[in-house]
A = this chain, B = another copy of it.
Amino acid sequence: MRYQNDQELFALMKEKLYTAVCCDVMDDLGYWNQAMRHDLRPVDNDMVVVGRAKTVLAPNVYKVYENPYKIEIDALDSVKEGEVVVVSTNNSTTNGIWGELMSTATVARGGTGAIVEGMVRDIRQIKKMNFPLFAVGYKPVDSKGRGYVIDYDCPVDCGGVRVKPGDVVFGDIDGAIVIPKEIADDVIRLALEKVSKEKMTKNELLEGKYLKDVYAKFGVL
């Protein structure tokens, strides 16, 4: 039943929420460092990604290892429905770790996107697929001989935030964030509440009211 729930949850998040309101709620709960570094950007500004983190750890290497894709293939073939692949490379600028075939393989297993702290390639095709991909940059080089997947389903750092397998990752035009699994239900419930208050604040500002008065009334900014 869990994945059933997740999918309903993720659809709800995509429809009603955005990353900023979730960050505000996490601030209130004492989780201040859940937004990834600002250089991790969606390939298209319209792309929204939400799902459970499927973590992958891929450091730089400097030769072509035997079976260079072995663990990477295992990782991708074990993606589950509703998962987002989160790739940590210690911010490699040399390794084009993600591309069209990995995106296709992820989709084939029911994965819903990828967040890559590093370089990606095949962007034209990935945009055509409308596969939600967040990355630091683009580089048209393969990972073979440049990076190697050494572990997956392990804690990683991605964009300066610790991500555990199963955490909810959420990315939109404002950036990508991590909602720890243990607080995910609370965060989403509180975020849905906050959204409506913001709408009222905005409406009164649009009517020409002063920020001072509107903030005094609703307490959000």
Chain A interfacial positions (CB closer than 8 Å to B): 18-20, 22-24, 27, 32, 35, 37-39, 41, 45, 57, 59-63, 69, 72-74, 76-77, 88, 90, 92-93, 96, 99-102, 104-105, 108, 119, 121-124, 136-142, 144-146, 148, 150-151, 154-157, 162, 172-175, 177, 198, 201-202, 205-206, 208-212, 215, 220-221
**Do B20 and A108 touch (CB < 8 A)?**
no
A42 vs B198: C-alpha distance in the bound complex, in angstroms?
Answer: 25
Interchain CB contact under 8 A, A202 and B100:
yes
Contact B209 A108 (CB under 8 A): yes
CA distance A45 to B156 in the complex (A): 31
- Chain B residues, Cβ within 8 Å of A155: 62-63
Q: Are B77 and A20 in contact (CB under 8 A)?
A: no
Residue pair A35, B140 in contact (C-beta under 8 Å): yes
Given contacts A57-B61, A62-B157, contact A212 B20 (CB under 8 A): no
CB-nearest residue of chain B to A26: B141
Partner of A121, one of B154, B174, B201: B174
Q: Which of B22, B27, B139 is A175 in contact with, Cβ under 8 Å?
A: B139
From the candidates B57, B61, B92, name the one contacting A62 in the complex (CB within 8 A): B57
Query: What is the minimal beta-carbon distance from A177 to any residue of chain B, in angstroms?
Result: 6
Of all A-B residue pairs in the complex, the 6 with the closest CB atoms, nearest first, are A59-B59, A38-B137, A19-B140, A140-B174, A20-B140, A104-B205
- CB neighbours (8 Å) of A136 from chain B are 38
Please indicate the chain B residues that have their CB under 8 angstroms from the CB of A88 in the complex.
62
